[in-house]
Copies of this chain bind each other. A is one copy, B any other.
Amino acid sequence: MSEYTQKDSQGHSVGIVEKKLHTSAEPPGELELECGRKLGPITLAYETYGTLNAEKNNAVLILHALSGDAHVAGFHSAEDEKPGWWDSMVGPEKGIDTNKYFVVCSNIIGSCMGSTGPCAINPKTVMPYGLEFPVVTIGDMVRAQKTLIDALGIKRLLAVVGGSVGGMQVLEWCVRYPDMVAAAIPLATTTRHSALAIAFNEVARQAIMADPHWNNGDYYFGDRPKTGLAVARMIGHVTYLSDESMRLKFGRRLQDKSDFSFSFDPEFQVESYLRHQGKRFVERFDANAFLYITKAADYFDLAKQYGGGSMVEAFSKMDARFLIVSFTSDWLYPTYQSREMVKAIKKTGGDVSFCEIEAEWGHDAFLIPNPRLSGIIGGFLYRVFNETAR
């Protein structure tokens, strides 16, 4: 456990606490997974920001996307070059105001960011799991997070918030634990992957598996499948942007050149950018974790699992107030998929606000600083807190 600080505009310190939850090796520390296998002991990395009030009704759980981690905001140390992945949204006086709310950001099982995943040590073999790690689902991830929220003594979360794969976890929280979620904010997400989204994930997985260093997932003591993972990341990265954002960001501009080099070196700026993104990613992420988390996302199908095929039926099992946000240029989870959710919630008589934000940045738009998004989320949380928590 480490404690760090983040300061508000008046210079007041707000505690950031970085922790891990460790379950015991025996049940209930062992989780029975949807695939039928058991996993345990489980470690779950998380961070908290701000203070849980005496009534324990100001907790906001934030859930991250594919390659994210528990470090949602602020700096861990003065040497950190970048703050947490959603620093524009989370902090003192920000959209998710850590002066008011107790923020918990939880990592997921299957990840390589401090929680039990394919690169963790399998206690049975005392070796990294590799492909021995069971295929986990979004439901499994959320059930592991539930043990964390229980351990923190929180009976009901003010809100669960997340974008992309984090948004799937939000929906899963709502349907599994309706009594524990007062409000839900799924951003730039979907109730199930389209064939297109599955296709991109599958091609990315194939790129990893094509790398001989992947070695059927057993590479932790040798060279890692860096080139395969870099290609996988580049594929993902293109899907996170949009035609428009790439036009604005790069167009056909050349990198450090005035004319074509007539070679296969990177020369368009977009080429250099993608290679750079691929390179940076392999330094911080594990190839097997990429396989497991994309697979969990592909499996996720709210209507199939909770509604016998009906989305209305699935949403009827939830009890949260919803704020659903989509982005105009997100072609991975286009707005029509968010509208389907809104329609289904309305049919159940549920409480839902919907906002499609005009944004050029494609699927990644939810991560980009956006005063409008901060305002909408801040206002929604404020209303929910005042109307339900007090």
Contact = CB atoms under 8 A, between A and B. Distances in A.
Interface stretch (A14-22, A64-72, A228-236, A349-357): A228-236
A211 interface: yes
A270 B195 contact: yes
Interface in A195-238: 195-196, 198-200, 202-203, 205-207, 209-212, 227-228, 230-231, 234-235, 238
Interface string A240-262: 01110011011110000000101
A178 to B, nearest CB: 25
Interface stretch (A121-129, A164-172, A294-302): A294-302
A313 interface: no
Interface stretch (A97-105, A271-279, A365-373, A381-389): A271-279
A257 B338 CA distance: 29
B238 A196 contact: yes
Given A195-B252, A198-B271, A252-B193, A203 B243 contact: no
A35 interface: yes
Q: Chain A's interface: helix, strand, loop or mixed, by majority?
A: helix
A334 interface: yes
Contact of A203 (B192, B231, B246): B231
Contact of A212 (B195, B212, B238): B212
A249 B207 contact: no
How many identical chains are in the complex? 2
A247 B203 contact: no
A42 interface: no
Contacts of A209: 264
Contact of A270 (B36, B199, B331): B199
Interface in A175-201: 192-196, 198-200
Contacts of A331: 243, 331
A255 to B, nearest CB: 12
Nearest to A37: B262
A161 interface: no
A336 to B, nearest CB: 9
A304 B246 CA distance: 19
B199 A246 contact: yes
A251 B260 CA distance: 41
A238 B36 CA distance: 33
A263 interface: yes
A378 interface: no
Contacts of A202: 234, 266, 268, 270-271, 274-275
Contact of A295 (B135, B196, B264, B291): B264
A274 B299 CA distance: 18
A84 interface: no
A207 B262 CA distance: 20
Given A135-B262, A210-B231, 15 more contacts: A131-B264, A195-B270, A196-B241, A198-B252, A199-B270, A199-B274, A202-B234, A203-B231, A203-B274, A206-B230, A206-B274, A207-B231, A209-B264, A210-B228, A243-B331
Interface of A: 34-36, 131, 134-135, 192-196, 198-200, 202-203, 205-207, 209-212, 227-228, 230-231, 234-235, 238, 241-243, 246-247, 249-252, 260, 262-264, 266, 268, 270-271, 274-275, 278, 291, 295, 298-299, 301, 304, 331, 334
6 contacts: A196-B242, A196-B246, A199-B238, A203-B234, A243-B334, A264-B295
